[in-house]
């Protein structure tokens, strides 16, 4: 059952990412990104990382994507212009992708019997340990990051605002 769910949500993640790239309207792209983030949360849940799955849903699918959607709607972004892409992307991108696909295929096919031997360590990090480090030891960087994101959004709104 886990394997079936993995393939379903992995495929949904890939389809959402392709839809994200192919959409011409920014709101539809943001909604496709929400689908990708939610699918990733289910994949994390299938891997046994419940805290990471919950954080993925709360932080990325919830807060960040609502923020992106709010900024896109506030800026009143219309349809994007289609370009034909850069010449350098065609020259280096397609051969680079082919080489990467060949390299990954070689690695997976040559190590067929050795890929499933992952083991847990002797010490498991609990949610309490993680929250203690995040909200006690790393509280200042955590808060500074949130203030920097807020400043970046305010700067984007100020730059995109129409002058009367």
**Span 115-136, pLDDT tens digits:** 555 566 677 777 788 888 888 8
**Which uninterrupted H or E stretch holds 154?**
helix 139-160
What average pLDDT does this structure show over 92-109? 83
Q: Is residue 15 part of a domain?
A: yes
Q: Is residue 100 part of a domain?
A: no
Q: Is residue 110 part of a domain?
A: no
Judgement on whether residues 73 and 10 belong to the same structural domain of the protein: yes
Say how many domains are in the chain: 2
Q: What is the DSSP string of 18-87?
A: HHHHH-SSHHHHHHHHHHHHHHHHHHHHHTT-HHHHHHIIIIIIIIIHHHHHHHHHHHT--PPPP----H
- In this prediction, residue 85 has a pLDDT band, given cuts at 50, 70 and 90, of low
pLDDT higher than 90, residue 21: no
Domain range enclosing 131: 124-164
Task: Give the residue from 79, 108, 141 where a domain finishes.
Answer: 79
Judgement on whether residues 131 and 74 belong to the same structural domain of the protein: no
Q: Is residue 64 part of a domain?
A: yes
Task: Give the residue from 79, 107, 132 where a domain finishes.
Answer: 79
Q: Is residue 40 part of a domain?
A: yes
Mean pLDDT of the chain: 80
Cα gap 154→164, rounded to integer Å: 19
What's the distance, Cα to Cα, between the start and end of the chain in Å? 59
pLDDT score at 5: 87
The CA-atom distances, in angstroms, between 79 and each of 31, 76, 112 are: 15, 10, 46
Question: Which of 90 and 132 is assigned the larger pLDDT?
Answer: 132
Write the CB contacts of 60 (distance below 8 Å, at least 6 apart in sequence). Answer: 37, 40
Judgement on whether residues 5 and 66 belong to the same structural domain of the protein: yes
Q: Is residue 162 part of a domain?
A: yes
Q: Is residue 58 part of a domain?
A: yes
- Contact (Cβ atoms closer than 8 angstroms) between residue 45 and residue 53: yes
Task: Give the residue from 17, 44, 79 where a domain finishes.
Answer: 79
pLDDT score at 113: 63
pLDDT score at 80: 57
Q: Is residue 53 part of a domain?
A: yes
**Residue 9 sits in a domain of what CATH number?**
1.20.120.1200
Neighbours of 33 (CB within 10 A): 21
pLDDT higher than 90, residue 14: yes
Judgement on whether residues 71 and 143 belong to the same structural domain of the protein: no
**Span 28-75, pLDDT tens digits:** 888 888 889 899 999 998 888 888 888 888 888 777 777 777 777 777
């Amino acid at each position: 059952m886990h394997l079936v769910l993995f393939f379903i949500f992995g495929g949904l993640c890939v389809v959402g990412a392709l839809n994200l790239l192919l959409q011409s309207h920014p709101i539809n792209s943001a909604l496709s990104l929400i689908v990708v983030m939610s699918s990733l949360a289910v994949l994390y849940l299938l891997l046994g990382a419940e805290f990471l799955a919950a954080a993925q849903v709360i932080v990325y699918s919830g807060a960040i994507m609502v923020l992106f959607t709010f900024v896109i709607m506030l800026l009143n972004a219309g349809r994007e212009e289609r370009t034909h892409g850069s010449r350098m992307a065609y020259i280096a991108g397609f051969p680079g992708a082919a080489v990467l696909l060949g390299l990954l295929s070689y690695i997976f096919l040559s190590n067929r019997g050795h890929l499933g031997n992952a083991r847990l360590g002797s010490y498991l990090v609990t949610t309490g340990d993680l929250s203690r480090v995040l909200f006690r030891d790393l509280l200042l960087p955590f808060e500074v990051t949130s203030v920097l994101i807020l400043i970046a959004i305010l700067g984007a709104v100020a730059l995109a605002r129409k002058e009367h």
